[in-house]
Structure 1
Amino acid sequence: MPAIEFTALPLPHYIRAGYSLAGPGRKHPERCAIGEFDLLVVAQGCLYIGEEDRQYEVAEGHALILRPDLHHYPTAGCTERTASYWLHFHTAGSWRLTDDDGEEAAGGADDAPAPGRTFRMQTFRIRVPQFSRLVQPAKMYEVLRQLVALERDSHLHWVRWEQQLLFQQVLMMLAAGADARSPRPGAVVADQAASYLRKHYRERLTAKNLGEALNFHPVYIARCMKRQFGCSPMEYLLQYRLDQAKLLLLQTDLPVGRIAQDVGFRQAAYFTACFARNEGVTPREYRRRFLQNPGAAGLDPIPTTTGGGN
């Protein structure tokens, strides 16, 4: 499978990101030479995409980078509810497409040094697979979630800086997959815990339940998740439940009490309190704020993003 190799410095830079949902039959939009790299990470379901003469089935836990200089298009509609992150980025430096052995393939930009420079920058290569299965999918989802959450304040310089740092984490995780490096045992446990919490978030969960399901002591799981995600298992679960609640608030007309139950809260008042503490507005205010936001063609983006999406 080809890889995309960037020459740094300068580093590839972040442009924008979003989170999209597609129901059965929806398709990825067709575009031609958009001038930006387009990273797609599927968290649920499958996207069916072509790029020139190559076709991809981007299933849950997989990532695909669409090139900025080629035609990409849908090859089929989604067969199930499909959730994906999209991220646009660019590079002012050179890049090229390489084959499995690292030899240059067709396309890409040249690697000539910029004219008129007195001193040559110390460069290095960033090699990421164009299509890959994620080594640590839950960690990738979490970093992308943080990127999307920052979009509403992306007019602030410090936020753009933080987004660039998070984007570099995304590149490092993709590069780790290309290098086939095995994650640390603690990282594997954290990823398993995150996957279990995401799968069972509607249920009543405790640290003891999680420990029994994974066959590890709850304290060890908590330590692994703190190191991997910067939060405890229950904090991770709360954030995921709130993210799912936001989707339901924006894409259904279900009452707030019903949404609270559907995402795992036993009491609507506690859900409202948690939501307001996290978002700064109540669930009803959040719904009203974005009620008039239209969905993008093909997919319905979460309205914390700016600009176009996939």
Structure 2
Amino acid sequence: MAFIEITIPPLPHYIASGYNSIPKGGQHPSRSNIQVFDLLITTSGCFYIGEEDERFEVGVGQAVILRPDRYHFATKVCEELTYTYWLHFHVGGAWELMKPSAVAAVPLEDPAPEDAEVEAFAVEPFTMRIPQFTTLQHPEKMYEVFDQLLQLQPRAHVNSVRFAQQQLFQDILYQLAASAETAHASASRACAEKAASYLRQHFRESVTAKQLGDELNFHPVYIARCMQKEYGCSPLTYLLKLRVGQAKLLLLQTELPIAHIAQEVGFEQAAYFAASFTKLEGMSPRSYRQQFAHRS
């Protein structure tokens, strides 16, 4: 299964949607490089469309997303009257089509650190994977959201209505992403989320890989693989980032001594805290605090 992987922020943006019919013997129009993503969901009948070397047969309760930079063409006429919802959306940030053969193995090691910019609270991007072609888990729920979008269309010139459209669109993306979840993927994500929850609850304590494994009843290597896949780092690095993030809050919001802050966020030694902070933020805790101090 091919996935469209979108880096967020920025969020994908809803443009327009509608409900179309294709008569028996008719076909979806051929188009090239329309510059927006085209989501199509069949509610009755079936239509047939191609994108380069891919061919899609989109039946009832199925969805396909056509890319903005490719040629789309009908591969066959409809054998019966067919109805489809359609939706155009724009992705302002990075995105990539990922095919199963192109998905690399997840390494256990963390990637080499990059030079960090000085920011009080850095925005941490994440990715959303939505299948290019899928069978919806709950098609009726998806149809309901599309109907709500259509009801809003006559008042789309009102800012509050446009905001409501964007919220409904995010629900559509969430449903599409959920439709691609396999039991294996769900288990992997559940393990990573349990590990992250445990680390967040116990970040002030000394947590070892063995202890984490015992608490979650999973092998530490499996936990590491799951967290690497879901969060892009090992449990140890996740814990360090969490502690340093909490330390940044205390450095900005309090006048507590740095050694006290180190203990407050789980570091037994101030020197190790300073080294870890400097590695992740590119400057010492003291320099970080001074960076945002008021200068008269």
* Short-chain TM bin: 0.5 to 0.7
- The aligned amino acid for 1:21 is S
**Residue of structure 2 equivalent to 1:20:** 20
Q: CA deviation at 1:180?
A: 3.0
Report the number of matched residues: 171
**Residue of structure 1 equivalent to 2:291:** none
Distance, in Å, in 1 between the alignment partners of 2:102 and 2:123 is 23
Q: Deviations over 1:162-202 (max 9, x none)?
A: 010000000000000122369xxxxxxxxxxxxxxxxxxxx
- The aligned amino acid for 1:140 is M
2:148 to 146, 154, 163: 146
Partner-residue secondary structure (3-state), 1:147? helix
- The aligned amino acid for 2:178 is A
Q: Deviations over 1:67-119 (max 9, x none)?
A: 00000011111110111100000111100011237727xxxxxxxxxxx9967
Partner-residue secondary structure (3-state), 1:34? coil
Q: CA deviation at 1:22?
A: 1.5
Residues 164 and 79 of structure 1: is their aligned pair in 2 closer, same or farther, counting only changes over 3 Å? same
Partner-residue secondary structure (3-state), 1:159? helix
- The aligned amino acid for 1:48 is Y
**Residue of structure 2 equivalent to 1:175:** 177
Distance, in Å, in 1 between the alignment partners of 2:176 and 2:30 is 24
Partner-residue secondary structure (3-state), 2:179? helix
Residues 71 and 120 of structure 1: is their aligned pair in 2 closer, same or farther, counting only changes over 3 Å? farther
Distance, in Å, in 1 between the alignment partners of 2:102 and 2:135 is 19
Partner-residue secondary structure (3-state), 1:75? strand
**Residue of structure 1 equivalent to 2:134:** 132
Residues 144 and 36 of structure 1: is their aligned pair in 2 closer, same or farther, counting only changes over 3 Å? same
Distance, in Å, in 2 between the alignment partners of 1:101 and 1:178 is 17
Q: Deviations over 1:218-246 (max 9, x none)?
A: xxxxxxxxxxxxxxxxxxxxxxxxxxxxx
Provide structure 2 residue ranges, at least 5 long, that are not aligned to the other structure: 105-116, 185-296
Distance, in Å, in 2 between the alignment partners of 1:101 and 1:159 is 42
**Residue of structure 1 equivalent to 2:7:** 7
**Residue of structure 2 equivalent to 1:162:** 164
- The aligned amino acid for 2:44 is Q
**Residue of structure 1 equivalent to 2:30:** 30
Residues 120 and 93 of structure 1: is their aligned pair in 2 closer, same or farther, counting only changes over 3 Å? farther
Partner-residue secondary structure (3-state), 2:76? coil
Q: Deviations over 1:252-300 (max 9, x none)?
A: xxxxxxxxxxxxxxxxxxxxxxxxxxxxxxxxxxxxxxxxxxxxxxxxx
TM-score, scaled to structure 1: 0.53
Partner-residue secondary structure (3-state), 2:143? helix
Q: CA deviation at 1:120?
A: 4.4
Distance, in Å, in 2 between the alignment partners of 1:181 and 1:36 is 32
TM-score, scaled to structure 2: 0.55
Partner-residue secondary structure (3-state), 1:127? strand
- The aligned amino acid for 2:51 is E
1:39 aligns with 2:39: yes
**Residue of structure 2 equivalent to 1:108:** none
Identity %: 47
After TM superposition, the structure 1 = structure 2 runs for residues 205-216 of structure 1, keeping only pairs within 5 Å, are: none
**Residue of structure 1 equivalent to 2:244:** none
Distance, in Å, in 2 between the alignment partners of 1:39 and 1:165 is 17
Distance, in Å, in 2 between the alignment partners of 1:178 and 1:123 is 21
Residues 135 and 102 of structure 1: is their aligned pair in 2 closer, same or farther, counting only changes over 3 Å? farther
